[in-house]
Structure formats: C-alpha cells, structure tokens
Amino acid sequence: MKRDEAKERIDVLRREIEMHNHNYYVLNNPVISDFEFDILLNELDTLEKMYPEFITDDSPTRRVGSDLTDEFRQYEHKYPMLSLGNTYSKEELKDFNERVEKVAGGPVEYVCELKFDGASISITYRNKSFFRALTRGDGTTGDDVTRNIKTIRSIPLKITGDNIPGEFIIRGEILMPRPVFNRLNEERLSAGLPPFANPRNAASGTLKLLDPKIVASRNLDCMFYFLLSDEIPYRTHFENLSTAGKWGFRVSEGISICRNIDEVMNFIDKWEDGRKKLDFDIDGVVIKVNSIDLQEKLGYTAKSPRWATAYKYRAEQVSTRLISVSFQVGRTGNITPVANLEPVLLAGTTVKRASLHNADQISLLDLHKNDVVYVEKGGEIIPKIIGVERSQRLEKSDKIIFITNCPECGTPLQRNEGEANHYCPNYLHCPPQLTGRIVHFISRKAMNIEGLGEETVDLLFNKGLIRNYADLYELNVDQLIPLERLGEKSALNIINSIRSSAGVPYPRVLYALGIRHVGETMAKTVAKTFGSVDELMQADSDTLTSVREIGPKIAASIISFFRDEDNIRIIQRLKSYGLKLNREEDSAPATAGGKLTGKTILISGVFKEHTREEYKEIIEKNGGKNATSLSSNTSFLLAGENMGPSKREKAESLGIPLISESDFLKLIHED
C-alpha cells in the first residue's frame, strides 16, 4: 500500500470505528459484531505501526494507554466545581421553589435529572477535540486524569455538529455499571483483595489508577449533565444539554422539563421505583432552573448554586427474619458478628446476611433469635440491621449474646479500653488469622506474589501444603498441578512469582510479616531505624519508643511478635530462602547531621528536576520527614508549579514558608 493510500485508509477506519463506538456505548445499538469491530481496530493498529507519522493522540488505538504516569498534575478549574445543596424532605423542596419564584417574580421552569452516584469529572474541549479532564478535587483545583478518561469509550475524542464553541467544558459523572462492578469484586475476592464497597467507590478509585490499561479494562461509562462556555449555544440548560447529546455525548434519557413544583414531585415519585431497573446507581434527583438568565440572577453561595438542589432518596429498607448470628475472625483477630437472615430482595439483590459490627450494636438492638429485623443497604457490601420489630417477637425467644471465646481456636476474647471490637489475641496460631496473614504476605503492596488468591491459599492450607508463609518457598510445581482449578501453566506461574518475590526490598518484607499495628508506612519507619530484622529482634521497649512514630502499643506488638519461637523459626527460614531482611546500603538512613534533620516538609505541585516520589526520598535521606498535610508543625512547603491556590493560602495563614524547587536544591547542595 502506498503512503497516500495508507493515510486515506487510516482516516476512513478512524471515522468508522468512532461511529461504531458511539453506536455501542452511547446509543446501545451496535450494528456489527465484536469480532468485526476487532478486525477494524486491528487493521488500524497495523497501519499506524507501518506508518507511525500518521498516529495522532485522538486515534481510537490510543484509548488504551501503554505507559505509567508518576503522578497526577493539578490544574485550576476555569469554572469552580461547587457541590449541590440537598434534602430528603419534599417540604424543603417546596421552600426552595418559593425562594426561586420570589426572585423570578412568578412560576419557574425546572429541569429534573437523575442524580447518578459516581465520580464527578470536568472535561475541556478545544477546537472540537478532547483537551483535558479534571477531577472535582477541592472544587477549585482538580487532578489531571486525561489519560484515564480517554480510555472510556463513551466519551468522544472528537465531536461534530452545529453551534460548537471554540472552547467549552462539559461535566459529568463517571460510572461503573452494576454488572461490571459485580464482576470486578468477584475478581478481587478470588485474588485475595478486599472488594469495593459500592460502584461509586470503584469508579472513583479506578480514576486514580496509574495504569490506563487497567482503567480501560474496568469498562467505565460517563453520563453528562452540564455544559459551560463563554460562548454557550442556548440560554436554557435543557437546550444546551440536548445539543451536547447531538454532539456525541451520552446524556441520560431520565431528564425532563417540569413546569412547576408539582411536576417535579411527580418526577421524583416516578424514579423512586424506576431507579431499581437501571444498570447504574442513582441516589436522588437533581432539580435545576432551566433559564440561564435566571441562574445568573440567582447566583451562588460560597459552596453551591442557588438555582439548583438535589432531592435524595432514603436508603431502601426491607424487613425479614433473623435466623442466627455467626462470628467471623479477621486477619488481625477482630471478631465481626454477622446476622444470617431469611433471604429477602433488597436494592436489586437477594440479601442473606447483614453486618452487626460489634457487641455494642447487638446490645443496643436487643436482638433475639427469630426477631423480625429491618435491613438497610447504604454504601456497604454487606447490608446492616437498623432496627427490630419488637411487636412481632416470639415468646421465649433466646437473646443473642456476644461470644466470649474465639469460634475458631477457643481462646478467650479481649477488648481493649476505648475500642469497639473484641479480638482473639491468639493471632500467631488461630487458623483464620494464619491464612489471613498468608493472604496479607502475598498481597500486592507486600510480596506481590501473583497467581495466588484467598481461595488458593485456603486450598493449600486445607491440603496441608502450607501452615505459614515460609512454607510457600518450599512449594513445587508437582504439588500444585493436581489441585482443583490449577494446571501446569498456573502452577508454574505461581512458583516463578514466589521465587522472584525474594527481590522485594526490606521495608516491604517487614510489612509482609504481618506484625500487628505495623502497616505499610510504619514498616518503612522501622526499616530506616533498624537496619536488619536481627537488630529489630533485639530492640526493647525503650529503644522502640525512642523512635518518634512508635508508641507503646506498637512497641509491645513488635516485642510480642519476636518473642514467639515459631515466628523466629519462620524468619530464619525466610533468610535461608534469600528474602531481604536487612537494609541495603543505598537505603541507609540519614545521619543525625543531615541537612534537613528535624524538619517536616510538605510537597505540592509539579517539578522539573525530580518527581515528587524522588523528592520524598531526598528529604528522608537528608534527615527530614515528609508531611501528608499542612499543619503548624510543617517546617516549609516545597512548592512546584501549578500548586493549588487553597494550599498556598493555608500555608500563608499558618506562616509556613514556601520554598521553590531551585532554592530547595541549593539548600541540600544539589544545584
């Protein structure tokens, strides 16, 4: 194929693929099969590789990113992203209408929209092309998530149509469909990862991932609800939103003009039941004044527009009968009571269990066996019991009593003063805590052993192949192949991943050990002060608590861990397998005379010479401490470009100096 012919074919393929994307993701009306679509996409990808000079950022093949980003850059919103006032009361909604009509001098036309429960996004288009996508952030400044948003196929990269401003901003809600959410949580559970609490959390968390490929695999969607521009096409919100739909943006069909407050109430009532049939979660209805002129006249408060409000639906509740209460043991020994219920339909799913949280809640509810209970599903994976119908309590029904001994190992439970939960102190030998520690050991932020998940760990434990995480390093392929759901390829991948985990650095190995109260950050602190696990083993309480971040509770936990002979034997085995249980020379802590010793520094903005993570390491190597937020204890703020104005104002109000990148490098003599 000649160069000119290739260029022409590439242009044709891009137009055709974008059309099919729009049919599939926006109109829900595909006209070709997935296989046919893949053929077109593969042809385009092949031609772009043959003629790389024709590759453009808005090509359909660029929607799935291939490289990682170090951080999210921040930009200021051209128009602030304010929050909405909201109410659960129709009387308050009538009050809102009266205030609006008083300013308008008569009846007002509203636009009612479904309030999608997702992650807000603001996208700028210039010259009909996607330019930048920002999260809400603090309302003034947002994170640049352009790479991730470009992977969402229902969001056009180029638009066509009439009356398109040279630059405009369109806002919407990033959503995760319920079927995608359910599948994602199943995958996370099988991989030994905690499930997302709800689709909103999953969508929001996905936007902050650093790998656009993973974002693309999550199949996010977006519903748009607001058009902003200095050259707005029409003077009504409804016309602008309808026009955005014609340009290629996905606008909900659940949008309606309401000519008075009674029609608004009818819309709210209609969707209270109708929302259960949607693939997306909604938590209410947004009511907006339709006239742009009246919007401008009504104006804004410091936090929200006076021309819009949200009516929120109450969380759905159902009643069912309590069969029994079981008690689950978590990785750290916390005992969680779970109510077993007669199956009941709630928010589109069949509920068989509900959380009871702790002993205090059981006592407060005065639960008895066979009680009729009210169950609510707010933002949780497991619904919760919120009340009891005592009028239907059976005579002589047994009161639910919180257990006194661990249901797994029989150890008497403990409850620390000031804490809500009971826990099993036998965390070194209690079976679910043992398997939980192994699952923690293999997790991504610890040893990152791929191919193993909670189910596989349970299988290996039940087969007697492992009793602790050191046993993982003695497994072989022949032991794994016969196991259920595993084959030769999976077994080989697991063994290879176990062996390669020996290269994980010392702080992560400390975190992986699962010492109670020693999380990821604390493990780094411990690793900086104690150069090897042997040195840590010898530390007494005074030595440990002399480290500023280590308090008596953490010190006692570390000492208890290393007093256990089984743990000592496990650690000796880990050493023999080559795991890094001592600090490498290049990660040695700063001396007391470091240039930043005694200083607490917050990093903000974007830098030229180093990434933010590199600056954090530089600060630590020079004896300083990285702050996570501004406070009176902050020594100074290392200020890069595009730092948010709110952070700058807070620093000035607290009298905290701002130091530029160049001045900081001079301070540590790296200029």
Q: Which residues are catalytic?
A: 115
Which pair of tokens denotes residue 161? 């149509």
Classify 430 as helix, strand or coil.
coil
Which pair of tokens denotes residue 475? 């497994």
Classify 279 as helix, strand or coil.
coil
Residues with Cβ within 8 Å of 489's Cβ and at least 6 positions away in sequence, in order, are none
What string of H, E and C letters represents the secondary structure of 74-95?
EEECCCCCCCCCEECCHHHHHH
Question: What does the chain come to in residues?
Answer: 671
Amino acid identity for residue 226 in this structure: F
H-helix or E-strand spanning residue 346: strand 335-346
CB 346 within 8 A of CB 452: no
Q: What angle do CA 483, 487, 491 make, to 5 degrees?
A: 85
In whole angstroms, how far apart are CA 310 and each of 224, 259, 306, 426, 603?
16, 17, 11, 50, 37
In whole angstroms, how far apart are CA 526 and each of 174, 360, 567, 592?
39, 35, 18, 16
Q: How many whole angstroms separate alpha carbon 200 and alpha carbon 283?
A: 11
Q: How many whole angstroms separate alpha carbon 371 and alpha carbon 365?
A: 11
Task: Tell me how far the alpha carbon of residue 613 is from its chain's centroid.
Answer: 20
| Chain position carrying tokens 């679509």 | 37
Burial bucket for residue 502 (CB in 10 Å: 0-12, 13-18, 19+) = middle
Residues with Cβ within 8 Å of 488's Cβ and at least 6 positions away in sequence, in order, are 477, 481
For the four alpha carbons of 237, 241, 242 and 247, in that order, the dihedral sign comes to positive
CB 125 within 8 A of CB 131: yes
CB 108 within 8 A of CB 97: yes
Q: What angle do CA 122, 128, 129 make, to 5 degrees?
A: 65
Indicate the DSSP class of residue 224: E
CB 47 within 8 A of CB 9: yes
